[in-house]
Amino acid sequence: MGGRRHDPPALRHPGHRAGLRRSARRRTRRHVRRRPGAGVMSRYALRVASVAAALGVWQLLTSLDVDLWLRFSQFPTVADVARAFADRMAGDDYWTDLTDSLTRILSGFLLAAVVGVATGVLVARSRLAEDLLGPILEVVRPIPAIALVPVSILLFPSNEQGIVFITFTAAFFPVMVSTRHAVRALSPGWEEAVRTMGGGRWRILGSVVLPGALPGIFGGLSVGIGVSWICVISAEMISGQYGVGYRTWQDYTVVDYPGVFVGMVTIGVLGWATSTAVELLGRRLTRWLPRTSYVPPGRPRPRHLAAPAAASSASTPSTSAASGGADDAVRTGPEPEGTRHEHLV
């Protein structure tokens, strides 16, 4: 009640309390000494170490000609691939192939982004458009884009235009489907709020539909850029005259395996760079969204995240029961003006 607080027997011992104070001081010193960028540096160091370890295992298995079901004796070593990479970068053909592949991928992907977003919004918001375009889109969507190579050869007068068409088709459907689902998932209350304030169709599109669907749109763009690289490389191998895919296939036909791995590494780096660019652009355009903070187990929570948890855990059951009615009143009361219209700004 109001009497003297009784500590557990373990806490009455002076040595135990002193040990608790020492451990608390050690934790405090450890947290203070942690530099702000130490976590980021450790993550990058771990990533570099994983790549270095993979290269080391590759070099070890290929240099020892290990053949345990997997025939590493047929693989070029890391040193052979590095020498081939240096030789290719010293010539003009490598950079010509790089430029051609990037031009094709960017042309098809940007066209797919514009047409895919427009089609997704139209199909999601217009029943007439859904009835007219829906059956055609759903029939064509399961067809692999690389299977359209014969169609592109028949339709377009040059292989260049056909490869761009295949790249466009590969990226169009992920973008369109993601946009359609994102628009349909929007809350109708936002649109009604804009209409109440006198907004028209274009105001709703610019203030509600496109901003609200941006996370889903960029999810489709991230998938689309990866599928585009798969299809553009395959199309270059089949019908191209220049490009990274064409050069990689030519190296395979002349049994130049280090050159094949140079092409594979180049494709991987280009795909990673373009996917990262799309992701960074998406984060930039959706910076108004709330971000979830992940705190690994065993790591102290940041102060702005630990404060609410500490406040909630500090309240006793009696206090919570006494304030239950007030909390219910607060929860059921009207939302603040900024909260109700934060998505419409």
- What domains can you pick out in the chain, each with its CATH number? 101-240+270-285 (1.10.3720.10)
CB 234 within 8 A of CB 145: no
Residue 67's beta-bridge partner residues?
A: 71
Average pLDDT along the chain:
80
The pLDDT score that the predictor gives to residue 299 is 54
Q: Assess whether pLDDT exceeds 90 at residue 203.
A: no
CA 192 to chain centre: 32
pLDDT (tens digit per residue) in 278-310: 999 999 988 877 765 555 555 555 555 444 444
Q: Assess whether pLDDT exceeds 60 at residue 66.
A: yes
pLDDT (tens digit per residue) in 172-202: 999 999 999 999 998 888 888 888 888 888 8
Looking at per-residue pLDDT, the higher value among 284 and 2 belongs to: 284
CB 148 within 8 A of CB 162: no
Looking at per-residue pLDDT, the higher value among 258 and 9 belongs to: 258
The pLDDT score that the predictor gives to residue 245 is 93
Q: Tell whether the torsion through CA atoms of 268, 269, 271 and 275 is positive or negative.
A: positive
Q: Using CA atoms, how far apart are residues 194 and 62, in angstroms rounded to an integer?
A: 64
pLDDT (tens digit per residue) in 124-174: 999 999 999 999 999 999 999 889 988 988 899 888 899 999 999 999 999
Q: Assess whether pLDDT exceeds 90 at residue 113.
A: yes
The pLDDT score that the predictor gives to residue 327 is 43
Q: Tell whether the torsion through CA atoms of 178, 181, 183 and 187 is positive or negative.
A: negative
The pLDDT score that the predictor gives to residue 107 is 95
Q: Using CA atoms, how far apart are residues 298 and 63, in angstroms rounded to an integer?
A: 41
Show Cβ contacts of residue 313 under 8 Å, excluding neighbours closer than 6 positions. Answer: none
Q: Assess whether pLDDT exceeds 80 at residue 6.
A: no
Phi and psi dihedrals of 67, rounded to 5? Answer: -130, 85
Stretch among 24-33, 110-119, 225-234 having the lowest mean pLDDT: 24-33
Q: What is the largest CA-CA distance in the chain?
A: 94
